Amino acid sequence: MRDLLHATADHAADWLQSLGERAVRPDRTAPEQLALVRARGLPDGPQDPRAVIDELVADADGALLATGSPRFFGWVFGAALPASLAADWLASAWDQNAGLAAPAPAAPVFEEVAGGWLLDLLRLPADASFALVTGCQMAHVTALAAARHRVLADHGWDVGRDGLAGSPPVRVLAGEERHATLDRALHLLGIGGRAVEPLSTDDAGALRPDALASALTGARGPVIVCAQAGNVNTGAVDPLAAICDAAAEAGAWVHVDGAFGLWAAASADPERRALLAGAERAQSWATDAHKILNVPYDSGLAVVADREAHRAALAFDAGYVVGGGGDGPRDPIDYTPEFSRRARGIPVYAALRELGRSGVAELVDRFCSLAARFAAALDADPTAEVLAHGLNQTLVRFGGDDAVTDAVIDAVRRDGTAYMTATTWRGMRAMRISVCSWRTTAADVDRSVAALLGAARAAR
């Protein structure tokens, strides 16, 4: 076992060491990779573990996307901090089932302590409850389950006991620029698309408070308002203070999708922090540790101000599962949608210990300033047009043309220098640049800008 793990660590280190210069994109297509791996076949009998690993590495090579590359700017994927990655390996080696504190306290205690630190760093209420889940998608499900419980309970309906059939209808008010994971969370919770009322947004994609105020006029039934801190294309943050004011007046629950944007609260820059003003007055929040915090996949965080609603929505009682209770750490199982679960608090804890308070702030601010560097450099060139820039996101278009923009994205990927993803913004094709890796430096931005502008000239 020891030899196997040392050899595996060498494989991993080889990969990590190659990130600085290797092509960011994979060499093989998905169908090519499928054919290759299928051809391996299920062996008739046991294989030597070392051979399994060596073969796995050989087969993966060429089909891996170098998301830890300093020039990976696709979607909003974070890289993995050294201590966090190493702690994640240990979490697998220790193989704890991190649901209950009493039988195996290590993982639930790291989780509980890290959760408290996260509330502090994100400037959320210290007495809020939280859940470490797989990502922002499941953080929405978790937080909105609590929201659903509370808004219906406030209208005399026990959704846990009676389900949704026959309940007062729940209205969901959300910006037309909301992330698609919110809709899926609502579907999973039995709140169909018809319940969602899309509200208009401003030029940057932030919800317009006047649209919310008018939708809330005369509202009497259960209402959940979904706000956003960090539009996936533009980085725009909704006006959270105004949203919370309007919702409070109407007795509505406010849920904030802050997958990456909530981290602006941890910035050392007061102006950046001010973008999040009012966020602390919402009732629930969803964010990720695998984006800005650079914890390896998968790691999301749901936070709920109303602990009772959170527990009521997710706690359960199974005769053979005995929790700790009393003064000890809480049982994570009562706050998460999973029963058995990975010890994902361990890499989160390690990331926070590695960075410390100032390191988290520096990471947030570095990502934002490198995204601003992209915006400034591209804006200065006539072939590029910066459509929006906010937080760690920059949205840009090339040659004033959809086809040229797509060609630039494709050319830079093929060349291997950098990796950006495409989007359609206000009917136009655009390139999204998301700075989210602790490895990225100003030199990586400059090298990527040169590649983009070179590709744009060639495409025109």
Ligand X SMILES: Cc1ncc(COP(=O)(O)O)c(C=O)c1O
Binding residues for ligand X (CB under 6 A): 75-76, 135-137, 179, 181, 230, 232, 257, 259-260, 288, 300
- 196 has which bridge partners? 172
Contact 262, 359 (CB under 8 A): no
CB of 457 to ligand X, least distance (A): 31
Contact 223, 375 (CB under 8 A): no
Distance CA 212, CA 200 (A): 9
Q: Which residues of 11-27 are buried (b: 16+ CB within 10 A; e: fewer)?
A: beeebbeebeeebbbbe
Residue (293 or 313) nearer to ligand X, CB: 293
- 388 has which bridge partners? 395
Residue (178 or 330) nearer to ligand X, CB: 178
Distance CA 329, CA 323 (A): 10
- 133 has which bridge partners? 300
Distance CA 6, CA 297 (A): 22
Contact 436, 71 (CB under 8 A): no
Contact 145, 189 (CB under 8 A): yes
CB of 136 to ligand X, least distance (A): 3
Q: Where are the alpha helices (DSSP H) in 82-232?
A: 82-94, 106-121, 136-153, 159-162, 180-188, 209-216
CB of 148 to ligand X, least distance (A): 18
Residue (257 or 444) nearer to ligand X, CB: 257
Residue (72 or 260) nearer to ligand X, CB: 260
CB of 317 to ligand X, least distance (A): 29
CB of 230 to ligand X, least distance (A): 5
Residue (40 or 426) nearer to ligand X, CB: 426
Residue (136 or 453) nearer to ligand X, CB: 136
CB of 77 to ligand X, least distance (A): 8
What's the Cα-to-Cα distance from 371 to each of 424, 433, 440, rounded to whole Å? 19, 7, 11
Residue (285 or 374) nearer to ligand X, CB: 285
Distance CA 207, CA 187 (A): 22
Give the nearest residue (CB) to ligand X: 135
Residue (292 or 453) nearer to ligand X, CB: 292
CB of 460 to ligand X, least distance (A): 31
Tokens of 350: 């390690």
CB of 173 to ligand X, least distance (A): 17
